[in-house]
Structure 1
Amino acid sequence: MDSAPEPRHAHPLRIANFRAYFVARFAMTIAQNAMIIVIGWQVYTIAREQMGMSVSGAAAQLGLIGLLQFLPLFLTTPVSGFVADRFDRRWITRITVGLQLLCAFILALATYEGWISLPILFSVAVLLGLARAFSGPAFSALAPNLVPREVLPTAIALSSISWQVGTIIGPAIGGFAYAHARSGAYWLAVALFGVALACMSLIGRVAQPPRSAAHPIRQIIDGLRYVGQNKLVLGTITLDLFAVFLAGTSALLPIYAHDIFKVGAQGLSLLAAAPAVGASVIALIFSIRPLKHNVGPRMLISVLVYGTATILFGIAHLIVPAYAFEVGVGALAVAGGADMFSVYIRQSLIQLYTPDEMRGRVGAVSQLTISASNELGEAESGFLASMLGPIGAVLVGGGGAIVVTILWTYLFPSIRRAKTFDPPEPQKLEAKS
C-alpha cells in the first residue's frame, strides 16, 4: 500500500512506517541477543564440560564462532550493498528476518531434543552471518526513506534506542530463559523474529532511490570509491573498526562469568546487558535533546572513554576483589554509554553525508567494519585470550583503542573539525575529500 505524506517536522514515532520499523528492529534485536548470548555460553560450556578443553582451548572456540559469523559478511559485502540500492529494501529485510527465524528454530529444536553440538552451532553461525550481511545495509538505508530529513538524527537516536534496549532485554531474557529451560531462549527468538517479520510487512511503499544505469560492478566500485574519497566518512567508519575490534569484550564475557567472576549463566546475562544499559541512557537523552554542536571532537573523546572503561573492566577483580563483579558491570555500562555516544554521531554523519542512491553501498561498507569490529573482534579476542589469557587480551584491547583514537585525531583532521551534522556545500565537501 502507499503511504500518505507526512508533515515535514513530524516526530518519527508519529509516522506509521517508522513505528513499524521501530518495533520490528526492537523485536529482532531482542531475538538476536537472546540467541547470541546463549550460543556463546553453549559453545564455551560444551568445549569445557563435555569436551574437556582448557580455558585457552575453549576461548579459541569462542573466537572461531565470531570468525564464522564474520566471513559470510566479508565475502558478500560488495553484493549486499548493491542489492540494498537496487531492490526494494523492505523485501530484503523481510527475507533476512525470515532466515534468522529459521536459524532460531533449528537451534531451539536441536537444544530441546538434546542433539545440539559445536558443528550445529558453527553452521548456524554462518547462516546468521549471511542473514546479517544483507539485512544490515537494507535496514540502515531504509530508515532515512521513512522520515523527513529534518528529523533524521532523532530517528537515528530512536532506532538506536530500539537496538540498545533490545540489547539489554535480549541477554537478560536469554540468560534467564536458558537457566529455566535450555531451549527457551531460542523459542522466544522464534516468536520475536515472527513479530519483526509481521511489522516489516506492514511498512507501506516508500520512495526508492534512483537506479543507476551503470553496470553493477561499476556501481559497487563507485560506492567503495565514495567511502575512500570522503575523508570524514572514511575516518568515522575506520575509527569504529579499529577501536571496537581491539577493545571488544563480548566474546570474553563467558570466560569472565564462568572462571573469573564465577557468577554462572545469570551473571553472564547481567554482564552482557550492562553495556546496553549505559548505551540506552545516552540514546534516550539524544532522542529528547539531539546533539548539535562539536560532534567530531566529542566522538573522539567518547572512544577514549570506551577504551579506558574496557581496561577497568579487565582488572576489576585485581583492584577491588570484594566488589569485582559490581565494578565490572559498572565499567561495562560506562563503555556502552561511550560507545553509544560514538555510534550516534557516526551514524548521523554517515547518513547525512551520503546521497540516498549510495546509502546501501556505503551502509554495506559501514556494516563490514562494524561486523569486523564485532564478530572479527570477537575472534581476535578469543584467539588473543588463548595466548595471553583473558585479562591480557582485555588490557591490550583497551589500550589499543586509546592509541588508535589519538592517531585518528591527526590522521583524519576532518573528524575533529566536524562541528555539526550539516554537510558542507558539495564543492567544499569535494575539496575536503
Structure 2
Amino acid sequence: MAIPAVFTASMNDASASLRHCRPFWHFWLARVLLTAGFQILTVAIGWQVYALTGSALDLGLVGLLQFLPRVLLVLVTGAVSDRFDRRRVVAVSLAIQAVAASVLLLGNLGAGWQVSRGLIFALSVVVGCCRAFDMPAMQSLLPNIVPPRLLGQAIAMAASANEAATIVAPALGGFLYALGAELTYGLAAASFVACLLLVSLLPSSRVLPTGQRVSLDSLLMGVRFIRSRPDILGAISLDLFAVLLGGATALLPIFARDILHTGPWGLGLLRSAPAAGALLMSAWLMRHPIRRRSGHIMFAAVAVFGFATILFGLSSSFPLSLLALMLLGSADVISVVIRGTLVQLETPDDMRGRVNSVNSLFIGASNQLGEFESGVTAAWLGAVPAVVLGGVGTLLVVVLWMRWFPQLARRDQLAP
C-alpha cells in the first residue's frame, strides 16, 4: 500500500524505527507465510480438481465454496476480532488450515483415502471458514503493533511482503506439483504451521472487554459505518465489481493447459505474474506515495485493469499473457492502496475488526465469487469470451461508479 503523506515526514527515520520493532517483523514474516501457504494450496487444488474433472464449472465452484463462509459469517467474524485476542483467532485458523492441507497430503500418499472432487469441495469450505476469521483479525493486528506515526510505512511493507509471497509461492507450488502433489500440499501445511508459531510471538490484542454484551446492533456497526462513509463505500464496491467481472484467476488452469500449452510450472508463473506487477508498483508507491488526485488515479487504475484483462483473454502467447497479467496486477494494487488507506485512517480501533470483516467480504466476493462467475461464464461461452467480456464489464463499472460516486472521483488527498 502507499504511504499516506500524513505519516511520511521522514522516511529514513521511520525505516530506522521499524528495524528495531521486533513484533512488526514477526508480523511481516507471518504475513508472508500465511499468503504463501494459501497460494500454494490454491494452485494445487485448482490443478488437481481440473485434472480430476476437466470442468471449468468445478474450478468456479472451488472459489464459490471458499467465498460462501465469508457471507454467512461476516457479522460474527468481525465481532470475534474485536472481542477476543486477535492473535489467538489467527492461530486457531492457521492450525485448521494446516490440518486441511495435511489431509490432502495424506490422500495423495494413499493413506487410506483418495483425493476426490467431493473431498476437495469439502476442504474448500473449511479453508473458506478459516479465511473468514483470519483476514479481518490479521488486518486489525498491525495498528496494535506499531505506533501511529509508523503505520503508513508498516502497511506499505506488509503489502509488499504479501505481493512477494504471491509471486514466489504459486510458481514454487506449480513446480513442486509437477514432481508430486504431495510435495505441494506438504509445503502448504508447513507454511501454515510456521506462521502459527510466529503469530504466537505477537503481543495479545483485545479491544472490547470480554464482558461486554454482543447484540445485533453491535454486530451491524461495521456495516453502518461503511454506509455512512461514501468514499469508503464507493472505493470498496468499485474494487468488488471490477474484480468480480474482470477476474480470470479461476480460469488460469484452462489457459495454461489448453490455450498457452504449458504444464503446472506455467500455471504457477501465470498465478505469480499479477503479484510481480503489484510488487513493482508497491515499490514505486513507497517512494512516490499518492498525495493528490487520488480519486482520478483510482478510477484510471481500474480502467487499466479492465484493458489488461481483455489483452490477456485475447493473447495466445505465453510471454504476452505474463505481461498482461503483470499490468493487471500493477493496476489492481493502486486500487488496493487507496481503499486500504481510506479504511485504516478513517476507522476507530474498537470497530476495526467489524469494518475489516465487511471489507474482507468485499475482497472475497471479488476474488472467490469472481472465480465462480468466471467458471460459469466459461462453461457457457468458453474461456476466452468469458475473460474478454469480464474486462468489458470492468470498464462499464468504471463509467457507472464515476457517475454514482462523484465525490470519490473528485477526491484529492487520501488523508485530510
TM-score band, normalised by shorter chain:
over 0.9
Counterpart check, 1:41 vs 2:47: yes
| Ranges in structure 1 where 5+ consecutive residues have no aligned partner | 1-6, 49-57, 318-323, 424-433
Alignment partner of 2:348 out of 350, 355, 364: 355
Within 5 A, what are the aligned runs for 1:199-348? 199-206=198-205, 208=207, 213=212, 215-317=214-316, 324-348=317-341
Counterpart check, 1:68 vs 2:36: no
Cα contact 1:145–1:207 (8 A) shared by 2: no
How many Å apart are 1:170 and its aligned residue? 1.1
Structure 2 residue aligned with 1:108: 105
Q: Which moved more, 1:199-208 or 1:173-182?
A: 199-208
Q: Per-residue CA shift, 1:369-398, capped at 9, x if unaligned? A: 110110011000000100111111101111
Structure 1 residue aligned with 2:158: 159
Cα contact 2:85–2:206 (8 A) shared by 1: no
CA distance in 2, matches of 1:271, 1:13: 33
Within 5 A, what are the aligned runs for 1:389-404? 389-404=382-397
- TM-score normalised to structure 2 length: 0.93
Q: Per-residue CA shift, 1:52-71, capped at 9, x if unaligned? A: xxxxxx00111111111111
Alignment partner of 1:409 out of 392, 397, 402: 402
Aligned AA for 2:78? G
SS at match of 1:336: helix
How many Å apart are 1:212 and its aligned residue? 9.7
Aligned AA for 1:99? I
CA distance in 1, matches of 2:17, 2:90: 24
Counterpart check, 1:135 vs 2:128: no
Q: Which moved more, 1:113-122 or 1:344-353?
A: 113-122
CA distance in 1, matches of 2:212, 2:67: 31
CA distance in 2, matches of 1:384, 1:205: 45
CA distance in 1, matches of 2:209, 2:308: 44
CA distance in 1, matches of 2:181, 2:220: 46
Aligned AA for 1:372? A
Q: Per-residue CA shift, 1:139-170, capped at 9, x if unaligned? A: 11111111222222222211111111111111
In structure 2, do the counterparts of structure 1 residues 214 and 417 end up closer, same or farther at CA, with 3 Å as the change threshold?
farther
How many Å apart are 1:90 and its aligned residue? 0.9
Within 5 A, what are the aligned runs for 1:359-374? 359-374=352-367
| Ranges in structure 2 where 5+ consecutive residues have no aligned partner | 1-12
Within 5 A, what are the aligned runs for 1:74-113? 74-113=71-110
CA distance in 2, matches of 1:210, 1:301: 43
In structure 2, do the counterparts of structure 1 residues 146 and 414 end up closer, same or farther at CA, with 3 Å as the change threshold?
farther
Cα contact 1:245–1:377 (8 A) shared by 2: yes
Aligned AA for 2:36? I
SS at match of 1:203: coil
CA distance in 2, matches of 1:34, 1:213: 39
Cα contact 1:82–1:216 (8 A) shared by 2: no
Percent identity over paired residues: 41
How many Å apart are 1:230 and its aligned residue? 0.9
Let me know the Cα RMSD of the aligned residues. 1.8
- TM-score normalised to structure 1 length: 0.89
Aligned AA for 2:108? T
Structure 1 residue aligned with 2:27: 21
Cα contact 1:9–1:150 (8 A) shared by 2: no
Cα contact 1:84–1:361 (8 A) shared by 2: yes
Cα contact 1:63–1:383 (8 A) shared by 2: yes
Q: Per-residue CA shift, 1:29-59, capped at 9, x if unaligned? A: 11110110110010111113xxxxxxxxx00
Cα contact 1:65–1:125 (8 A) shared by 2: yes
How many Å apart are 1:85 and its aligned residue? 1.1
Cα contact 1:38–1:185 (8 A) shared by 2: yes
In structure 2, do the counterparts of structure 1 residues 265 and 378 end up closer, same or farther at CA, with 3 Å as the change threshold?
same
How many Å apart are 1:190 and its aligned residue? 1.4
How many Å apart are 1:208 and its aligned residue? 3.2
In structure 2, do the counterparts of structure 1 residues 419 and 62 end up closer, same or farther at CA, with 3 Å as the change threshold?
same
Cα contact 2:167–2:272 (8 A) shared by 1: yes
Aligned AA for 1:362? V
Q: Per-residue CA shift, 1:63-107, capped at 9, x if unaligned? A: 111111111111001100111111111111111111111111111
CA distance in 2, matches of 1:405, 1:370: 17
SS at match of 1:290: coil
Count the aligned residue pairs: 402
Q: Which moved more, 1:207-216 or 1:78-87?
A: 207-216
Cα contact 1:257–1:263 (8 A) shared by 2: yes
How many Å apart are 1:311 and its aligned residue? 0.3
Q: Per-residue CA shift, 1:399-422, capped at 9, x if unaligned? A: 111111121112112212322222
Q: Per-residue CA shift, 1:190-227, capped at 9, x if unaligned? A: 11111101110111245736789564311112221111
In structure 2, do the counterparts of structure 1 residues 112 and 11 end up closer, same or farther at CA, with 3 Å as the change threshold?
farther
